[in-house]
Amino acid sequence: MSEDEIIAAFRDLDLFDCFTSDQLRLLAFVAEEIELAADENLFAAGTPADGGYVLVEGTLSALEDGVAADRAYRVTPPALVGEIGLMLARPRGTTVSAREASRLIFVPREAFLKLVRQDADLAMRVSGLLKGRLARYIEPITRLSHKFSDKS
């Protein structure tokens, strides 16, 4: 993919609405195109996150750890996948695999954070958008917390 195609893919997603053209160009420069074959994993639940992915072509299946395969949800383009990995080095909460051949753009966390740290307004807008998504990530963990508390 060309830099311009990558930037166009970024512009399809609300997270990147608050980035300037120059910031998007910098992200596009460090981004990596990923191609998956059908049934190939993008990442597995529990693996460390090191960035996020923009799905530009194909269809993915996302499955929370411990949930039956028939309850997987479908991800179609344009979509941001694993977005919490852009901000946090936390284990992935889902397993994501390709339902069919798919193309994605990998955005490394370090490059993303470097841009966000350099612009306070950008940081506020990005954190606001990701706040809701982070709550969605943490909710299943919170529901299980009673199983891990020590009530001796």
Whether the per-residue pLDDT at 141 is higher than 70: the answer is no
- Is 152 contained in some domain? no
- Is 151 contained in some domain? no
pLDDT tens for each residue of 125-136: 888 887 776 777
Whether the per-residue pLDDT at 33 is higher than 90: the answer is yes
Q: Which domain holds residue 114?
A: 3-146
Whether the per-residue pLDDT at 110 is higher than 90: the answer is yes
- Is 47 contained in some domain? yes
Which pLDDT band holds residue 84 (cuts at 50, 70, 90)? confident
What are the strands, taking DSSP E only, across the chain? Answer: 32-36, 41-43, 51-57, 60-64, 73-75, 79-81, 94-98, 102-108
- Is 142 contained in some domain? yes
- Is 96 contained in some domain? yes
Give the three-state DSSP class for 87.
coil
CATH code of 82's domain: 2.60.120.10
Distance CA 93, CA 84 (A): 10
What element of type H or E holds 45?
A: none
- Is 135 contained in some domain? yes
Rg (CA), the chain: 16
pLDDT tens for each residue of 1-26: 999 999 999 999 999 999 999 999 99
- Is 41 contained in some domain? yes
Q: How many independent structural domains does the chain possess? A: 1
